[in-house]
Amino acid sequence: MSREHNIAVIGGDGIGPEVTEVALDAAQAQAEKFGFTLNLTDFPQSGAHYLKTGEVLNDDTLEELKKYDAIYLGAVGHPDVKPGIIEKGLLLKLRFELDQYINLRPVKLYSGVETPLKDAGPEELDYVCVRENTGGLYSGVGGFNMKGSKDEVAIQSMVYNRTQVERCLRYAFELAASRPRKTLAMVGKTNVLTYVFDLWDRVFNELGEKEFPEVKREYYHVDAACMFMVKDPRRFDVMVTSNMFGDIVTDLGAETQGGMGMAASGNINPTKSTPSMFEPVHGSAPDIAGQNKANPIAAIMSARMMLEFLGEKEAADDLDKAIDTYTGSNSLTQSTSEAAEKFMAILKG
């Protein structure tokens, strides 16, 4: 296995570049400590770049990005750009075109982090959400009819084929099988979305029975899952769900682990035929951009996921320990630069 990793860096908008800088400093420190090489190449794609050039993500850049081992993305979204343009043209385009069909989002409470959950500590909150990342309501299937009239119709369909469902569930089963509790909870809405989640449910049970008999299967309707994520999160080990439900429940999950500044994600193509992309769950937060206020921890956690994905497990585990030491001894509301300084001291100490 090569220990030279080429990373495309899209710092993006708002606080994106600020937290990316800290996260990649931490990753570079691990490269030095554990003897591997990270070659970082910056890409300008962002809302700001679009306003300047009219370009979101062209085909040449997309092809160029495919040559990297991974992509690190800070955050994209600009207040002067109409909603949807950057989200669909950059972020979702990358997820779809690079077939990053898994969005992996750990929900883990680190030491000392305040949670809005009553009586919950790190023991009670340590699960992973596997969000399907290329289909469902995000497929973009739909349109308007009679637009602008009083009878206009808008349709946006939840579309899944069996291949998409099966490959996502297989990944989730494999992940669950690798964890001590070996429990996989599927989150759906079989009582209302009786076509799409019937398909999910059948594949879930067929696959589980045939290939993963050692994994305990559970099922939750999405509304009940939200309730238990607050009331009794200890029951979750690995959770798997559709794209839209995963988007929603992981913001709730993020809040339970201390807020959006504490939530990491990986957009993963498990086949490795194209690069995977790592990003904090939070957005570009234009209201605090440039004010040295952003919490860089989610970005650092996302860098940790990237190192693990690149095969640098030891470096990733060591980084994880440093995160836990940092959160255990520091307030999360300090300035970005102060947080960075204290974090790097722990990491290098």
Show which residues are catalytic.
138, 189, 223, 247, 251
> How near is the Cβ of 315 to ligand IPM at its closest, in Å?
25
With the C-alpha atoms ordered 114, 116, 122, 126, is the resulting torsion angle positive or negative?
negative
> How near is the Cβ of 2 to Mn ion at its closest, in Å?
33
Residues 88-117 touching ligand IPM, rule: CB under 6 A, are 91-92
- Which of 265, 300, 224 is closest to 104 using CA atoms? 265
Any contact of residue 31 with ligand IPM (CB under 6 A)?
A: no
Going from the C-alpha of 77 to that of each of 59, 83, 201, the distances in angstroms are 20, 8, 35
Residues 211-270 touching Mn ion, rule: CB under 5 A, are 247
Residues binding ligand IPM: number (CB under 6 A): 5
Residues 276-295 touching ligand IPM, rule: CB under 6 A, are 281
Between 279 and 312, name the residue whose CB sits nearer to ligand IPM. Answer: 279
Between 105 and 304, name the residue whose CB sits nearer to ligand IPM. Answer: 105
> How near is the Cβ of 12 to ligand IPM at its closest, in Å?
11
Burial class (CB in 10 A: 0-12, 13-18, 19+), 53: exposed
Going from the C-alpha of 11 to that of each of 31, 43, 65, 312, the distances in angstroms are 20, 8, 14, 22
Q: With contact defined as beta carbons under 8 Å apart, do 281 and 19 qualify?
A: no
Q: With contact defined as beta carbons under 8 Å apart, do 300 and 342 qualify?
A: no
- Which of 27, 85, 19 is closest to 279 using CA atoms? 19
Between 247 and 279, name the residue whose CB sits nearer to Mn ion. Answer: 247
Residues found near Mn ion in the complex (CB under 5 A): 247
Q: Which residues bind ligand IPM (CB under 6 A)?
A: 87, 91-92, 247, 281
